[in-house]
């Protein structure tokens, strides 16, 4: 999981761009139609869904391969995929809404807002763990990634997970001085999941549904992965192209989002601008809070905001997600006001990496 994440980060630092805006997307879709089937065949991968956006419009949807190989089920605009750590981006918007409403202060101790669990005492000062540094992975909290469970019956609660009942990932601890360095912490986002619940008085799933998904028109998205949701989802395959079981998470804020390419594209557009020059996400947050959330954060070497990966060379913001059977990528090229998402139903890493590189190369060739 970490290895794939590093591959994605490396790809985010190549392909320099210029400022010529793109208005014709036919070259991109032609390249996708020509090359993506070859990429899937080369890697013996099952399928992929892609969506391309421009401003506040979805300008292309493409799917290749199958949602299920055996039944030859096609991937449609509403086929759902797990998107792993891209869940953190959605969570960040939910937290920032509480900040915008004055219910959470970015720089106050996060323990002040937690009712059912507190960050345990440490040799370091837990009062310096704040929403701001948790969002940007500079809090000093432990636990990089989660492995999840292969059955919903094994799920318990977010509090149990924070205490270490999470299939071996470990408990949440403060392991270095806050605000001194970047250190990826999925555990920090589990703390934010609890924060949202304790402050809003709603379940995390219901809060995000009402405050993020509904305003953005995301009708095929949920953190509540039921049997019905799975019937609408692609079948996950492992790195060898074999069917694998679904992975379920108590730590939904960190890794549990199930969504479609079209819906994730609608979320991708939140940091792009409409024809009036306003952020599409202004239905969720004011301009100043969107600006705050996407600018590079302190102690990240300019590479992270809250919680996007910042690619200064490509003027883009994005993230990747990896769970067993799924890989997802979202990228918003902000200076061009365009974006795209790539969702695959396998753990075959080169597929999304090569498609990402293909789209970026095509974008650059159009603008040159």
Give residue-wise pLDDT tens across range 13-55.
Answer: 333 333 446 777 899 999 999 999 999 999 999 999 999 999 9
Q: Is 92 exposed, middle or buried (0-12, 13-18, 19+ CB in 10 A)?
A: buried
- Rounded mean pLDDT of the chain? 93
- Given this model, what pLDDT does residue 368 score? 61
- Given this model, what pLDDT does residue 367 score? 65
Spatial neighbors of 241 by CB under 8 A, at least 6 apart, are 44, 45, 46, 346, 348
For residue range 51-71, list pLDDT tens digits in order. 999 999 999 999 999 999 999
Query: Do residues 22 and 336 lie in contact, with contact meaning Cβ atoms separated by under 8 Å?
Result: yes
- Given this model, what pLDDT does residue 21 score? 63
Q: 172-176, 296-300, 363-367 — which is least confidently predicted? A: 363-367
Distance, in Å, from the CA atom of 39 to the CA atom of 351, rounded to the nearest integer, reads: 6
Residue 364 has pLDDT above 90, yes or no: no
For residue range 192-218, list pLDDT tens digits in order. 999 999 999 999 999 999 999 999 999
pTM of the full structure: 0.93
Mean pLDDT in residue range 3-21: 41
Residue 11 has pLDDT above 80, yes or no: no
Distance, in Å, from the CA atom of 300 to the CA atom of 294, rounded to the nearest integer, reads: 13
Q: Is 151 exposed, middle or buried (0-12, 13-18, 19+ CB in 10 A)?
A: exposed
- Given this model, what pLDDT does residue 268 score? 97
Residue 4 has pLDDT above 90, yes or no: no
Spatial neighbors of 1 by CB under 8 A, at least 6 apart, are 145, 322, 323
Distance, in Å, from the CA atom of 250 to the CA atom of 159, rounded to the nearest integer, reads: 9
- CATH: 1.10.1660.10, 3.40.710.10, 3.40.50.620, 3.20.20.150. Which one for 2-367? 3.40.710.10
Mean pLDDT in residue range 222-238: 98
Mean pLDDT in residue range 187-194: 98
Distance, in Å, from the CA atom of 124 to the CA atom of 227, rounded to the nearest integer, reads: 43
Query: Do residues 223 and 158 lie in contact, with contact meaning Cβ atoms separated by under 8 Å?
Result: no
For residue range 251-303, list pLDDT tens digits in order. 999 999 999 999 999 999 999 999 999 999 999 999 999 999 999 999 999 99
């Amino acid at each position: 999981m970490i290895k794939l994440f590093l591959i994605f980060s490396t790809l985010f630092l190549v392909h320099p761009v210029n400022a010529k805006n793109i208005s014709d997307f036919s070259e991109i879709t032609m390249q996708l139609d020509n090359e993506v089937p070859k990429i899937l065949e080369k890697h013996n991968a099952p399928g992929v869904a892609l969506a391309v956006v421009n401003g506040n419009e979805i300008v292309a949807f493409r799917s290749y391969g199958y949602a299920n190989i055996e039944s030859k089920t096609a991937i449609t605009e509403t086929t759902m995929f797990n998107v792993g750590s891209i869940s953190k981006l959605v969570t960040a918007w939910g937290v920032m809404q509480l900040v915008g409403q004055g219910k959470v202060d970015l720089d106050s101790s996060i323990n002040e807002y937690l009712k059912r669990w507190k960050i345990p005492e440490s040799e370091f000062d837990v009062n310096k763990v704040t929403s701001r540094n948790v969002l940007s992975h500079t809090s000093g909290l432990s636990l990089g990634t989660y492995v999840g469970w292969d059955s919903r019956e094994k799920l318990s609660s977010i509090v149990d997970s924070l205490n270490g009942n999470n299939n071996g990932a470990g408990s949440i601890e403060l392991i270095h001085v806050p605000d001194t360095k970047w250190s990826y912490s999925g555990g920090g986002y589990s703390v934010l999941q609890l924060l949202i619940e304790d402050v809003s008085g709603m379940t995390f799933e219901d809060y995000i549904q009402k405050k993020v998904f509904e305003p953005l028109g995301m009708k095929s998205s949920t953190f509540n992965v039921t049997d019905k949701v799975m019937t609408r989802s692609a079948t996950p395959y492992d790195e060898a192209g074999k069917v694998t079981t679904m992975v379920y998470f108590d730590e939904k804020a960190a890794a549990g989002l199930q969504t479609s390419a079209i819906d994730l594209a609608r979320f991708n557009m939140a940091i792009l601008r409409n024809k009036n020059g306003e952020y599409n996400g202004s239905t969720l947050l004011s301009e100043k809070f969107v600006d705050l959330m996407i600018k590079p954060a302190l102690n990240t070497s300019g590479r992270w905001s809250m919680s996007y990966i910042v690619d200064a060379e490509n003027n883009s913001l994005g993230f990747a997600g990896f769970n067993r059977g799924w890989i997802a990528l979202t990228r918003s090229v902000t200076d061009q006001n365009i974006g795209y998402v790539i969702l695959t139903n396998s753990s075959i890493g080169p597929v999304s990496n090569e498609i990402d590189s293909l789209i970026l190369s095509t974008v650059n060739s159009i603008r040159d």
